[in-house]
Amino acid sequence: MKKLSVDKTSSKGIAIGKAYKYEKISFVPDMYVYNDKDEEIKIYKNATELVSDELTKLAQTNDIFAGHLELVNDVALLDEVTNKIVNDKKNVQIAFRDTIDEFVAMFEAMDNEYMKARADDIKDIYQRVMAKIKNVELKNLASIHTPTIVIAKDLAPSDTATMNLDYILGFATQGGGVTSHVCIMARNLGLPALVGADNLLEEVNDNDIIIIDATNGDIYINPDEATIKEFENKKSDFEKREKLLKENAHLEAITKDNKRVLVYSNVGNIEDIKNAVKCYIDGIGLFRSEFLYMENSHFPTEEEQFEVYKEAVQICTGEVIIRTLDIGGDKELSYYEFDKEENPFLGFRAIRISLHLKDMFKEQLRALLRASAFGYVSIMYPMIISLEELLEANSILDECKKELDSQNIAYNKDIKVGMMIETPASVMEAEAFAKYVDFFSIGTNDLTQYMLAVDRGNDKIADMYDSFNPAVLHAIQKVIDAGHKENIVVGMCGEFASDERACKMLLGMDLDEFSVAFTQVAAIKSIIRESDFEKCKEISEKIRFVHSKKEVNEILNMF
Which residues carry out catalysis? Answer: 181, 493
Hey, is 254 helix, strand or coil?
strand
- Does 445 show up as a binding residue in the annotation? yes
String of DSSP letters for 484-521: HHTT-EEEE-SGGGG-TTTHHHHHHTT--EEEE-GGGH
- Does 487 show up as a binding residue in the annotation? no
In this structure, which amino acid lies at residue 355?
Answer: L
Q: Enumerate the H helices of 302-423 as residue ranges.
A: 302-315, 351-356, 358-371, 387-406
| Sheet containing 209-213, strands listed edge to edge, beginning at the edge strand earlier in sequence | 2-5, 218-221, 209-213, 14-22, 148-152, 168-173, 193-194
Hey, is 268 helix, strand or coil?
coil
Helix (H) / strand (E) containing 552 = helix 549-556
Minimal CA–CA distance to 509: which of 487, 478, 486?
478
In this structure, which amino acid lies at residue 269?
Answer: N
In this structure, which amino acid lies at residue 147?
Answer: P
Read off the DSSP letter of residue 264.
E
Could you tell me the sign of the dihedral formed by the alpha carbons of 327, 333, 337, 338, in that order?
positive
- Does 446 show up as a binding residue in the annotation? yes
Minimal CA–CA distance to 481: which of 517, 515, 438, 434?
434
Hey, is 474 helix, strand or coil?
helix
| β-sheet bridge partners, residue 16 | 211
String of DSSP letters for 65-106: HHHHHHHHT-HHHHHHHHHHHHTS---HHHHHHHHHHHHHHH
CA 272/CA 290 separation, integer angstroms: 14
- Does 529 show up as a binding residue in the annotation? no
- Does 288 show up as a binding residue in the annotation? yes
- Does 216 show up as a binding residue in the annotation? no
Minimal CA–CA distance to 302: which of 181, 413, 416, 407?
407
Residue ranges of the binding site: 288, 323, 422, 445-446, 456
The binding site for phosphoenolpyruvate comprises 288, 323, 445-446, 456
Q: Residues forming the annotated binding site for Mg(2+)?
A: 422, 446
